Amino acid sequence: MSEQVPARLQLSENARVVLERRYLAKDDEGNVIETPEQLFRRVAGNVAQAEGRYGPKDEAAGRVAHWEERFYALVTSLRFLPNSPTLGNAGRPLQQLSACFVLPVEDSMVSIFDAVKQTALIHQSGGGTGFAFSRLRPAGDIVQTTGGVASGPVSFMRVFDAATEAIKQGGTRRGANMAILDVHHPDIEAFINVKADMVTLTNFNISVAVDDAFMRAVEADDEYDLINPRTGEVAGRRRARAIFEQIVANAWRNGDPGLVFLDRINADNPTPQLGRIEATNPCGEQPLLPFESCNLGSLNVARFVKGQGRAAGAASGPSLPAAKDVDWDALAEVIPVCVRFLDDVIDMNQYPVPEIERQTKLTRKIGLGVMGFADLLFELGIPYDSDQALGLGDRLMAFIREHADAASEALARERGVFPAWAESAYGPGGANRPLRNATRTTVAPTGTLSIIAGCTGGIEPAFALAFIRQHYLDPRTPREPVRLTEVNPVFEAVARARGFYSEDLIAHLAAGRPLHDRREVPADVKDVFVTAHEIAPSWHVRMQAAFQRHTDNAVSKTINFPRQATIADVAAAYMLAYKEGCKGITIYRDGSRAGQVLSHIAEGEGVPAIDEAAVAEALSMVAGREALEGSPPADQLSLRPGGGNARRRRRNGNAGGFRSRNRYTPPRPALPFSEVDTTTGCPDCGSRLVFSEGCLVCRSCGFTRCG
């Protein structure tokens, strides 16, 4: 048994603040009445109660006690944490433990407002909701019962948004929604542009559901059909590339809409007999059938490292030798405990509506994923934007999937297969493999969880090596923030061991300035310790694809772009995600949501004219990238302010992009990153929000709309 209760819970000061603010039990006056250790004991003890439902009754008490201790050791080691609702609600009156849900929206007033009511109940309990509005008749269509005309999907999305706005979740998680519309819907253009003013539908992420036929039409610059969902008849035709250009132009503007590749999602649908998947949860990593929920958990892979290595231990040295390695044996021991924990959560959950309980227990989907991947790369001395990192990501997720599947199979032999198994892809007519859970793996957002675990989020690169967290810690001055500088622990260890650590360096990094500006930092360190905005978008996409290849559900990730990126760059990334086998894509361009809460777009501002020739060139480069010899895929998304090749060296302060040791460094803004990217302030503490793992996250207080 690899999991052991630590002598002392290793929590950072910020982790303790986040736990106190968002998870620890409080009395009626808001005073904290629970310690972090008691929280983890509460969660472990509550989830382990499910063990009493299986096996001999006279051994139930012993089984429960045994698994409570193993679960407690697991979570206090910070090697694994379940999703936020489980941490916050297990063993408390609410007992709603799932993070994400999908609700049906059929083409009737009763169905629409049933979904609004169910949404309110889910948001109140701490969950997020996803919807496909594709079944609603288009605006202007006939309503036979009244003789009137339909208002269309976008108008009803505003109703859901207003309901979400009215519900607050105790300051822990505000309601989050995902709206998806099929690209063949006649109202697709209204949907694509609905968030262009950046103040409409602020409680929604939106994504366009595209199929292979549409993407082929984009590549060929052909037309495609719009279909009225009420009649199934063709309602018009559009030039596919023109629609695609509207999608990427709006994404360039503010990150919405993303794309969801539904054909690919349904190719992996384990229970097609129950229906076609049409929607995902708010951050896109969990495709679900109507009324399904999924409970998620994440392995902190940075804590599965063996060997001392020279990266942090050497006093000097010209390089960062990779003497460390992943502790594969320890990982193999822990994964079955995680799978068992998540399966137990399904039984202990109190679901917000009966239909969700029935559907969830029919398929028993779980989603085990990762966090701390960038820290793992730092530990091993591997640059994020390298083929070696892609190879490790591929191997790591394949390993997790293999052992999660084996653990689910063992549970099936112990407890029985999931009820919908017989006609599923795993039943006698398919793989004929007994499994307890219809899906086992998901890479979910870990914004708050990664703060508690003290690691980087999900599979994202580090957002910064040092940054300032803002807390309201002093009860004598509750409205005055305390500013605390936080440094990535792996970087700090290397900096001290290699002798280049200084307070001036940390202040430089915390101000949002790049590491590559510092002459005292060795070149090999600069190569390894890269951050999200120093990595070309194609590396982000390829890393997402590497993990997706071995993930049952999907992968939550943000593809980061510098402020100077063009619409053609975004188009290339969207097409690359499709070509690489991703199930969806979300992007964010630095500064593109600056001041969105305060004002509308000024008259005359907004998206620049679409350069159709540049978009066509970008798409052809992606489509033909296999034929480009001697040029790594990362080079094939040029990020150019106003055009031109970005792969040039910086001389005499030139702010253009350049390549160093096969790495793209984006054009530097005139101001440090932290100053130019004034995205929406955190509604809880006022600190800056960042886009990571397909989600808004506050790295100061843990606020997030997901994870």
**Sorting pLDDT into bands at 50, 70 and 90, what band is 698?**
confident
pLDDT for res 198: 85
Q: Is the dihedral of CA 133, 139, 141, 145 positive or negative?
A: positive
Cα separation of 695 and 707, whole Å?
Answer: 8
Catalytic option among 177, 281, 300, 488: 281
Q: Greater confidence, 33 or 671?
A: 33
Q: Is 256 in the same domain as 312? A: no
Secondary structure string (H, E, C) spanning 301-367: HHHCEECCCCCCCCCCCCCCCCCCEECHHHHHHHHHHHHHHHHHHHHHCCCCCHHHHHHHHHHCCEE
Q: Greater confidence, 610 or 21?
A: 21
Q: Greater confidence, 69 or 447?
A: 69
Instruction: Flag whether pLDDT at 65 surpasses 70.
Output: yes
Q: CB-side exposure of 385: number of CA atoms within 13 Å? A: 28
Q: Which residues pair with 588 in a beta bridge?
A: 560
Secondary structure string (H, E, C) spanning 463-512: CCCEEEEEECCCCCCCCCCEEEEEECHHHHHHHHHHCCCCHHHHHHHHCC
Catalytic option among 219, 245, 278, 285: 285
pLDDT for res 5: 66
Instruction: Flag whether pLDDT at 18 surpasses 60.
Output: yes
Beta strands 695-698 and 689-692: pairing type?
Answer: antiparallel
Residues 253-265 have a mean pLDDT of 96
Q: Is 508 in the same domain as 433? A: yes
Q: Are 573 and 557 in contact (CB under 8 A)?
A: no
Cα separation of 128 and 130, whole Å?
Answer: 7
pLDDT 10s digits, 481-497:
777 788 999 999 999 99
Q: Is 332 in the same domain as 267? A: no
Instruction: Flag whether pLDDT at 238 surpasses 50.
Output: yes
Residue 646 inside a domain? The answer is no
Q: Which of 464, 432, 429 minimizes the C-alpha distance to 697?
A: 464
Q: What is the CATH number of the domain that holds 384?
A: 3.20.70.20
Q: Which of 576, 584, 568, 596 minimizes the C-alpha distance to 678?
A: 596
Write the CB contacts of 528 (distance below 8 Å, at least 6 apart in sequence). Answer: 320, 377, 378, 381, 382, 383
Q: Is 203 a catalytic residue?
A: no
**CA dist 649 to 480, 613, 654, 666, Å?**
44, 26, 8, 11
pLDDT 10s digits, 273-289:
999 999 999 999 999 99
Q: Is 211 in the same domain as 316? A: no
Residues 612-640 have a mean pLDDT of 54
Q: Which residues pair with 260 in a beta bridge?
A: 209, 584
Residue 475 preceded by cis peptide, ω within 30: no
- State the CB neighbour count (10 A cutoff) for residue 140: 11
Q: Is 233 in the same domain as 327? A: no
Q: Is 617 in the same domain as 490? A: yes
Q: Is 116 in the same domain as 77? A: no
Cα separation of 363 and 439, whole Å?
Answer: 8
Task: Determine the distance from the C-alpha atom of residue 278 to the mean position of all C-alpha atoms in its chain, rounded to a whole number.
Answer: 19
pLDDT for res 705: 65
Mean pLDDT score of the chain: 86
pLDDT 10s digits, 147-181:
789 999 999 999 999 999 888 644 455 678 999 99
Write the CB contacts of 697 (distance below 8 Å, at least 6 apart in sequence). Answer: 445, 447, 448, 457, 689, 690, 691, 703, 704, 707
Q: Which residues pair with 647 in a beta bridge?
A: none
pLDDT 10s digits, 325-382:
999 999 999 999 999 999 999 999 999 999 999 999 999 999 999 999 999 999 999 9
Pick the range with the lowest mean pLDDT from 55-69, 281-295, 459-473: 459-473
pLDDT for res 641: 33
Q: Which of 239, 257, 280 is the last residue of a domain?
A: 280
Domain count, the chain: 2
Q: Is 160 in the same domain as 91? A: no
**Sorting pLDDT into bands at 50, 70 and 90, what band is 619?**
confident
Helix (H, G, I), strand (E, B) or coil at 212: helix
Q: Is 92 in the same domain as 107? A: no
Rounded to 10 degrees, the C-alpha dihedral 509/511/513/516 comes to -20
Residue 382 inside a domain? The answer is yes
Q: 186 φ, ψ to 5°?
A: -60, -25
pLDDT 10s digits, 367-417:
999 999 999 999 999 999 999 999 999 999 999 999 999 999 999 999 999
pLDDT for res 3: 64
pLDDT for res 266: 98
Q: Which residues pair with 208 in a beta bridge?
A: 181, 259
Residue 289 inside a domain? The answer is no
Number of helices followed by number of strands (H, E) in the chain: 22, 24
Catalytic option among 100, 203, 283, 409: 283
Residue 364 inside a domain? The answer is yes
Residue 182 inside a domain? The answer is yes
Q: Is 237 in the same domain as 269? A: yes
pLDDT for res 595: 41
Residues 690-696 have a mean pLDDT of 69
Residue 601 inside a domain? The answer is no
Instruction: Flag whether pLDDT at 39 surpasses 60.
Output: yes
pLDDT for res 627: 34
pLDDT for res 605: 45
Instruction: Flag whether pLDDT at 633 surpasses 50.
Output: no
Q: Are 672 and 411 in contact (CB under 8 A)?
A: no
Instruction: Flag whether pLDDT at 426 surpasses 90.
Output: yes
**Sorting pLDDT into bands at 50, 70 and 90, what band is 56?**
very high
Q: Is 110 in the same domain as 82? A: no
Residue 115 amino acid letter: A
Instruction: Flag whether pLDDT at 689 surpasses 80.
Output: no
Residue 286 inside a domain? The answer is no
**Sorting pLDDT into bands at 50, 70 and 90, what band is 558?**
very high
Q: Is 281 a catalytic residue?
A: yes
- State the CB neighbour count (10 A cutoff) for residue 600: 12
CA triplet 484, 485, 489: central angle to 5 degrees?
125
Instruction: Flag whether pLDDT at 659 surpasses 50.
Output: no
Q: Which of 280, 315, 333 is the last residue of a domain?
A: 280
pLDDT 10s digits, 178-236:
999 999 999 999 999 999 988 899 999 999 999 999 999 999 999 999 999 999 999 99
Q: Is 160 in the same domain as 138? A: yes
pLDDT for res 629: 32
**Sorting pLDDT into bands at 50, 70 and 90, what band is 686?**
low
pLDDT for res 650: 29
Instruction: Flag whether pLDDT at 670 surpasses 80.
Output: no
Residue 606 inside a domain? The answer is no
**CA dist 158 to 14, 181, 332, 422, 587, Å?**
36, 14, 46, 40, 23
pLDDT 10s digits, 594-613:
543 322 233 344 556 777 77
Q: What percent of the chain has pLDDT above 90?
A: 70
Q: Is 100 a catalytic residue?
A: no
Helix 387-415 with 373-380: angle, nearest 10 deg: 130
Instruction: Flag whether pLDDT at 524 surpasses 50.
Output: yes
Take residue 572 and report the two structure tokens written for it: 């290339």
Helix (H, G, I), strand (E, B) or coil at 173: coil
pLDDT for res 669: 36
pLDDT for res 660: 40
For 401, the domain range is 1-96+294-595+612-625+654-707
pTM for the full model?
Answer: 0.88
pLDDT for res 80: 99
**Sorting pLDDT into bands at 50, 70 and 90, what band is 680?**
low
Q: Which of 257, 280, 303 is the last residue of a domain?
A: 280
Scanning 349-446, the segments in alpha helix (DSSP H) are 354-363, 373-380, 387-415
Q: Which residues pair with 468 in a beta bridge?
A: 485
Q: What percent of the chain has pLDDT above 70?
A: 81
pLDDT for res 693: 62
